[in-house]
Copies of this chain bind each other. A is one copy, B any other.
């Protein structure tokens, strides 16, 4: 038998708590700063945009944070998600490596994003919030919050990055089917959007701009909060169900990873898979290599600076110490819309800076070529974001073929590509563009960093 193997867990193996890597960091994180005073922020500073329970998690140093019962009740519709051993792919590559992928495309929104959308909607509902605003890139996060808002009876308003809004009309339809409102960003609904439009009427938009619009709208209304789909610690820890489940599934397989790989836009799917393994390694030692993969056209970890920066373009958010390309950097309009972000989760940035995570960047064409090879072997068409993780996994498996090493590779297949077929159509027709940034644009964006950089 040499076919792909599925490792499933029982429902009682759905994790009962989230893992918070803040408890295990070898060097403390730099504090988050108030954008006005540049003093460390307090929970009260965040109260206008997040519910109290979320703020507590954001600042918590507890290693384990209990998952509320009603959140687990929703998650268990599709969780624990399967872990697959990609035996057909291994055979196709002729590699001695053992390749495992955690498959998050089984969620109703087709990605890992509901793992945090469900708890965020729950906490908002518990605290009497009526409406949540958010941004979305490729639409996976917007779809997931639309779904979660629908389950918990909340109104959802999604600012969708304009280039993705037009590239992925099915995603917008998905959000609307669940009753959410989806607005292309930059829009004329907010001062931040209007300011961008005045200067760049044809702006593609960016996650940084869309965040500004969503935050601005949230702070202006008493019954409205904002939700973020990545970057912040509460999001990262909500995603650790994937890593915790994978640990148990690898135990079932009698295996343990040499490499853990995920794509990184804001960092949540990578962190969700990697942090439970990395935390254990920080506490107990170990030899796992952690590889964060980003697009070479938005090379935050590989070409950015480790510095204080804003999370958004209009500078409405607190200042966080992270790898950044500068908050005014506009990534080109490649299809992995979820990775078009100038910054990176502070925890990932910090652990990269200190050598615990190895970043890597691939071009759009290489990632799509990897995605098609994966699909032909495993039958699943990955989301363009996930293709970045696939690309690194293939490269590592091919290195094993050369060296003869039988490494164990684990990666996060964080979503399926059903809503991204036009990108595959372009790729197969030879029409997909290789996109890159202008060095001078990054230099200019970095020159505007609020606290400079080393």
Q: Report chain B residues within 8 Å CB of A6.
A: 11, 76-78
Q: Report chain B residues within 8 Å CB of A76.
A: 3, 6
Among B73, B84, B425, contact of A1 (Cβ-Cβ < 8 Å): B73
Q: Report chain B residues within 8 Å CB of A55.
A: none
Tell which of A70, A77, A88, A428 has the most Cβ of chain B within 10 Å: A77
What's the Cα separation between A177 and B147 when bound, in Å? 29
Asked whether A170 is an interface residue with its Cβ less than 8 Å from the other chain, the reply is: yes
Asked whether A74 is an interface residue with its Cβ less than 8 Å from the other chain, the reply is: yes
Q: Report chain B residues within 8 Å CB of A167.
A: none
A151 touching B77 in the complex, CB below 8 Å, given contacts A11-B6, A173-B422, A425-B173: no
What's the Cα separation between A417 and B173 when bound, in Å? 11
Q: Which B-chain residue is minimally distant from A8 (CB atoms)?
A: B8
User: Quick check: B73 and A3 within 8 Å, CB to CB?
Assistant: yes
Q: Report chain B residues within 8 Å CB of A123.
A: none
Asked whether A289 is an interface residue with its Cβ less than 8 Å from the other chain, the reply is: no
Mark out the residues of chain A between 64 and 94 whose CB falls within 8 Å of any chain B CB in the assembled complex: 69-70, 73-74, 76-78, 84, 88
A3 touching B381 in the complex, CB below 8 Å, given contacts A169-B421, A179-B376: no
Q: Report chain B residues within 8 Å CB of A179.
A: 376
What's the Cα separation between A110 and B378 when bound, in Å? 14
Among B4, B88, B147, B170, contact of A418 (Cβ-Cβ < 8 Å): B170
Q: Beta-carbon contacts of A138-180 to B below 8 Å, as 1s and 0s? A: 0000000001001100000000000000000110011011110
What's the Cα separation between A109 and B381 when bound, in Å? 9
Asked whether A121 is an interface residue with its Cβ less than 8 Å from the other chain, the reply is: no
Q: Beta-carbon contacts of A368-407 to B below 8 Å, as 1s and 0s? A: 0000100110111100000000000000000000000000
What's the Cα separation between A421 and B420 when bound, in Å? 12
User: Quick check: A379 and B108 within 8 Å, CB to CB?
Assistant: yes
Chain B nearest Cβ from A46, distance in angstroms: 29
Chain B nearest Cβ from A413, distance in angstroms: 12
Q: Report chain B residues within 8 Å CB of A419.
A: 418, 421
A173 touching B379 in the complex, CB below 8 Å, given contacts A73-B1, A74-B3, A84-B77: no
Q: Report chain B residues within 8 Å CB of A178.
A: 375-376
Q: Report chain B residues within 8 Å CB of A18.
A: none
Q: Which B-chain residue is minimally distant from A376 (CB atoms)?
A: B150
What's the Cα separation between A11 and B110 when bound, in Å? 23
Q: Which B-chain residue is minimally distant from A170 (CB atoms)?
A: B421
Asked whether A424 is an interface residue with its Cβ less than 8 Å from the other chain, the reply is: yes
Chain B nearest Cβ from A423, distance in angstroms: 9
User: Quick check: B428 and A151 within 8 Å, CB to CB?
Assistant: no
User: Quick check: A174 and B421 within 8 Å, CB to CB?
Assistant: yes
Q: Report chain B residues within 8 Å CB of A372.
A: 177
Chain B nearest Cβ from A256, distance in angstroms: 22
Q: Report chain B residues within 8 Å CB of A173.
A: 421-422, 424-425, 428
Asked whether A106 is an interface residue with its Cβ less than 8 Å from the other chain, the reply is: yes
Q: Report chain B residues within 8 Å CB of A108.
A: 378-380
What's the Cα separation between A137 and B245 when bound, in Å? 39
Chain B nearest Cβ from A68, distance in angstroms: 12
Please give 13 more A-B residue pairs, beta carbons under 8 A apart, in addition to A173-B424, A173-B428: A1-B69, A3-B76, A4-B77, A6-B11, A6-B76, A8-B10, A77-B84, A169-B422, A169-B425, A173-B425, A176-B425, A176-B428, A179-B376
Chain A interface residues (CB < 8 Å from chain B)? 1, 3-4, 6, 8, 10-11, 69-70, 73-74, 76-78, 84, 88, 106, 108-110, 147, 150-151, 169-170, 173-174, 176-179, 372, 375-376, 378-381, 418-419, 421-422, 424-425, 428
22 A-B residue pairings within 8 Å (CB atoms):
A1-B69, A3-B74, A3-B76, A8-B11, A77-B84, A106-B106, A108-B378, A108-B380, A109-B379, A147-B379, A150-B376, A150-B379, A169-B422, A169-B425, A170-B422, A173-B421, A173-B422, A173-B424, A173-B425, A177-B375, A177-B381, A418-B419
